[in-house]
A and B are shown apart, each in its own frame.
Chain A
Amino acid sequence: MAEYTPEKTLDARGLKCPMPVVKTSQEIKNVSVGGVLEVLATDPGSVADIQAWCKSTGHELLGMEKGEGVFKFYIRRVK
Chain B
Amino acid sequence: MSEHEHEAKKASIVVFSGDMDKVMAAFIIATTAAASGIDTTMFFTFWGLQAIKKKVPTGKTLFQRMLSFFLKDINGLNPSKLSMGGLGRWMFKQMMKQQNVTPLPELRKMAVDLGVKLLACQMSMEVMGIRREDLIDEVSDVVGAATFIAEANKSHITLFI
Contact = CB atoms under 8 A, between A and B. Distances in A.
Nearest to B9: A56
Interface of B: 1, 5-6, 28, 31-32, 34-38, 99-102, 110, 114
* The 4 nearest A-B residue pairs measured at CB: A25-B35, A56-B36, A18-B32, A58-B6
Nearest to B36: A56
A18 B110 CA distance: 11
Given A25-B35, A25-B36, A16 B6 contact: no
Contacts of A18: 28, 31-32, 35, 102
A24 B100 contact: no
A15 B34 CA distance: 18
Contacts of A21: 32, 35-36
Interface of A: 14-19, 21-22, 24-26, 53, 55-58
Nearest to B32: A18
A58 B9 CA distance: 13
Nearest to B28: A18
A16 B35 contact: no
A55 B35 CA distance: 12
A58 B2 CA distance: 11
B37 A56 contact: yes
Contact of A16 (B32, B101, B110): B101
Contacts of A14: 100
